[in-house]
Amino acid sequence: MRFRSLMAAVRDELTAHPTRTLLAAASVVVGITCLVVVVALTGLGERAIRSDIEKSAGRAETYKLDGLDTDGNFLSRKVVEHADRRLAQLGVPSRSRYDGYQAITSTGRSTDLFAVDPSYNHVRSIDLIAGRWYSSKDVRRYPVPVVINKAAGGDLSSDEIGTVSVLKVGDTAIAARVIGKVDDGRTDATVYGLHESLQSTSATLPAPEAGYLYAISPSGAQLVARDLARLARNLEASGVDVRRIDDSDAFQKIFRVIQGVGIGAAAIALIAGSLGFLNLGLASVQQRVRDFGVLRSFGATRASVFLTVLMESVVITLGAGIASVGISWFALQVMPPIGSIDLGNAELPGSAVLVGLVVSVALGLLVGVIPARQATRVDVIDAIRTQ
């Protein structure tokens, strides 16, 4: 039987009994919808939480280098400089040094001031809200350009791009121009300035709380951490600590458990729907015994009857899969926010759509085999005699 003739026979049978077709499709829609929603929510939730981690702590496998040296001062600059050279030798591109200060704004509020370099946002995934992040030309363009986070907006005299605010660091007042506003995942008011800009002013800044961040591939992360710790010991900078701060592995494990539970629940619903679909398929074959006998008497082979019934099953479940994808998309649009995850305008991930369609076709093939084999066992003579 040619494919076109096969599909025509499938279409005629399904359209001739629309109620039975809809009932068969409805029996598996719930299970496939549950599966698609679980896969979609897991992917969207993992992406949202990973984004928060990357903003607040750093990208996957982010390590922080900080501590005290033997003189009781904060992490000595020589350790940072040696670490920078060592990471450059190892080919670690995402690395950044920072100095932390406490500053008082013109409104009298306290804010964190971090002196960073332009590569800081390559280690931490910082979302730009307004303006821009630093470029290499900013040192020459503005005396002290700064980027603020959302929490710092109300602490400055103005958080509009281009405005100037006064920051008091120690006994020194610094006039800073706002060039950007970011979402860095921090709830504390934070201002980011450039190392070179702050050092180029005549201000005498207090000793900073120095630190160093770097992100590296998982395969070499622990090796580099041990290497930097050994470097600090060789420089006699006691108390220097090298530790991982992104916690992405812990969240990955949590999500795997949540995903397993959700897929298990969806699988139960899918199995229940499959049993209902199988019962409808077997009942349909029993009702069409005479039709199969007539087809066989006119030369239809067992293989053609088998393929016809099997394709009917696949077309029904594929239609159910398409409907499930549509229902899942609508469910995501009307679903309220879950914590910090707002699904109001979320797009259905391609992985969820693919899982839904593949499972629907596979289900049609697996469940449709039993009714199809039952149809091929019909005796032609007995079938024609059936009234």
**Structure confidence by residue, pLDDT tens digits, 173-215:** 888 888 899 888 778 888 998 887 777 665 677 777 767 676 6
User: Which pLDDT belongs to residue 71?
Assistant: 52
Higher pLDDT, 36 or 139: 36
Higher pLDDT, 89 or 102: 102
What residues contact residue 335 under an 8 Å CB cut-off, 6+ apart?
343
For the ranges 126-135, 136-145, 157-166, the lowest mean pLDDT is seen at 136-145
Q: Label residues 253-288 b or e (16+ Cβ within 10 Å = b).
A: eebeeebeebbeebeebbeebbebbbebbeebbeeb
Q: What pTM was estimated for this model as a whole?
A: 0.55
Distances (CA, A) of 257 to 1, 251, 252, 254: 48, 10, 9, 5
Say yes or no to pLDDT of 332 above 70.
yes
User: Which pLDDT belongs to residue 170?
Assistant: 81
User: Which pLDDT belongs to residue 9?
Assistant: 67
Handedness of CA 4, 7, 13, 18 (dihedral sign): negative
User: Which pLDDT belongs to residue 70?
Assistant: 47
Strand duo 172-183 + 164-169: pairing: antiparallel
Say yes or no to pLDDT of 334 above 80.
no
Distance of alpha carbon 155 from alpha carbon 148, whole angstroms: 10
Say yes or no to pLDDT of 102 above 80.
yes
User: Which pLDDT belongs to residue 176?
Assistant: 86
User: Which pLDDT belongs to residue 20?
Assistant: 75
Say yes or no to pLDDT of 113 above 50.
yes
Other beta carbons less than 10 A from residue 126's beta carbon: 22
Distance of alpha carbon 288 from alpha carbon 17, whole angstroms: 12
CB contact at 8 A, 94 and 216: yes
Say yes or no to pLDDT of 233 above 50.
yes
Which ranges constitute the DSSP H helices of the chain?
Answer: 3-16, 18-56, 77-89, 120-123, 138-141, 195-200, 221-234, 248-287, 289-297, 302-334, 350-376, 380-385
Mean pLDDT of 217-235: 70
Higher pLDDT, 7 or 75: 7
Which of 378, 360, 372, 373 is CA-nearest to residue 309?
372
Say yes or no to pLDDT of 42 above 80.
no
User: Which pLDDT belongs to residue 247?
Assistant: 64
CB contact at 8 A, 378 and 308: no
Mean pLDDT of 149-167: 82
Say yes or no to pLDDT of 115 above 80.
yes
Say yes or no to pLDDT of 10 above 80.
no
The residue assigned the tokens 């500053």 is 103
Q: What is the pLDDT of residues 316-328, one digit of tens each?
A: 889 888 998 888 8
Higher pLDDT, 83 or 3: 83
Q: Output the average pLDDT for the chain.
A: 76
Say yes or no to pLDDT of 161 above 80.
yes
Q: What is the pLDDT of residues 117-137, one digit of tens each?
A: 888 887 777 788 888 888 767
